Amino acid sequence: MFDVGLQELVVILVVVLILFGPRKLPEIGRAIGKALRELRRSSQDFQEAIEQEPPEEIKKEVEKKLAENISRESEDEENSKSG
């Protein structure tokens, strides 16, 4: 995801350690872990929702409109040939 190497990771950890101190480090780690888990769970739920089949009512409505469009196009073709 992010292209973070070992040197960058060490610099980030040193800066965090200086800013927050060793006592707050475990709390920060837990908070980051929770946030990442929640983000992963949300993206997974979103992906599952996209991949789900649409409800039957929507399918029927789409099929009906498709049939109407096809019949309308065939009528237009017949009118243009005869007219």
CB atoms closer than 10 angstroms to residue 28:
13
User: Higher-confidence residue: 77 or 13?
Assistant: 13
Question: Is 35 in the same domain as 60?
Answer: no
The per-residue pLDDT for range 38-76, each reduced to its tens digit, is 999 999 998 888 888 777 888 888 899 999 988 888 877
Residue 81 has what pLDDT? 73
Question: Is 30 in the same domain as 46?
Answer: yes
Q: Is the pTM of this model over 0.75?
A: no
Question: Is 21 in the same domain as 11?
Answer: yes
Mean confidence (pLDDT) of the chain: 85
| Exposed e or buried b per residue across 34-72, where buried means at least 16 C-beta atoms within 10 angstroms of its C-beta | eeeeeeeeeeeeeeeeeeeeeeeeeeeeeeeeeeeeeee
Question: Please, what is the Cα angle at 31 between 25 and 35, to 5 degrees?
Answer: 145
Q: Which two tokens stand for residue 8?
A: 């960058």
Question: Is 46 in the same domain as 19?
Answer: yes
Question: Is 29 in the same domain as 61?
Answer: no
Q: How many domains does the chain have?
A: 2
| 25-43 mean pLDDT | 92
Give the domain range for residue 73. Answer: 54-83
Listed residue (2, 37, 49, 78) closest to 12, CA to CA: 2
